[in-house]
């Protein structure tokens, strides 16, 4: 998911002013949030849910959650804060769907790609401290070259398609696929070395 352009920033309210509106309990905060970031949040949600109506509801729920959380929170990077909320809400909706009714989405595809990295044998989510696992993944990503890390995050955090990720960095889809594959293999080895899963 690409960032906003300088022109868009100039045409919309700055983040610190929007956050201040939340703190002042001004409903204009939501209007400015939607104007500035609405389409990014919709894209993120749609990548997970593959359903525009569900995505619209998830983004609206994001605004409500942001309204309830500010104050006391004062996010330093508003878009990152909103994306985390949108992603979690959308994933919750995805999980609640009846499995027979689930639609194919980039999120579902990306989960399949990551399956071998973050699970092994009979290991279940209950067997792993997910906070430690998340920290280990962050540590691994921090050691990667910038482009490799960004491609991985674009695919597995924002759930962008491989075509989109490749387009962002001016590379072929085959190169993006190869980069993601090598990164997943490296992540799996790193997690095994850190003792999360038994080595095969």
Domains contained in the chain, CATH given: 6-98 (1.10.1740.10), 106-193 (1.10.10.10)
Measure the CA–CA gap between 63 and 65, rounded to whole angstroms.
5
pLDDT of res. 3: 46
Per-residue pLDDT of the chain (200 residues; tens, 9 = 90+): 444 444 444 445 799 999 999 999 999 999 999 999 999 999 999 988 888 999 999 999 999 999 999 999 999 899 989 999 998 898 888 877 655 455 556 766 676 777 667 654 444 444 445 667 777 888 888 899 989 998 998 888 888 889 999 998 899 999 999 999 999 999 988 888 887 765 54
Q: Which of 3, 101, 109, 1 is nearest to 54 (CA)?
A: 101
pLDDT of res. 58: 95
Q: Which of 82, 54, 81, 70 is nearest to 20 (CA)?
A: 70
pLDDT of res. 10: 44
């Amino acid at each position: 998911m690409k960032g906003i352009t300088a022109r868009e920033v100039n045409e919309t309210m700055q983040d610190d002013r929007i956050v201040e509106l939340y703190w002042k309990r001004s409903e204009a905060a939501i209007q400015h949030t939607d104007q500035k970031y609405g389409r990014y949040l919709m894209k993120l949600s749609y990548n997970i849910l593959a359903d525009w109506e569900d995505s619209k509801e998830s983004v609206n729920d994001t605004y409500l959650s942001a309204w309830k959380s500010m104050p006391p929170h004062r996010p330093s990077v508003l878009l990152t804060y909103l994306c985390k909320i949108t992603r979690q809400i959308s994933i919750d909706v995805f999980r609640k769907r009846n499995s027979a009714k689930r639609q194919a989405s980039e999120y579902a595809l990306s989960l399949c790609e990551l399956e071998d990295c973050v699970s092994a044998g009979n290991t279940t989510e209950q067997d792993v401290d997910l906070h430690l696992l998340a920290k280990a993944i962050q540590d691994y990503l921090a050691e990667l070259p910038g482009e490799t890390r960004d491609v991985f995050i674009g695919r597995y955090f924002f759930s962008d398609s491989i075509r989109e990720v490749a387009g962002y960095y001016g590379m072929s889809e085959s190169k993006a696929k190869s980069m993601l594959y090598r990164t997943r293999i490296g992540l799996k080895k790193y997690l095994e070395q850190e003792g999360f899963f038994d080595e095969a």
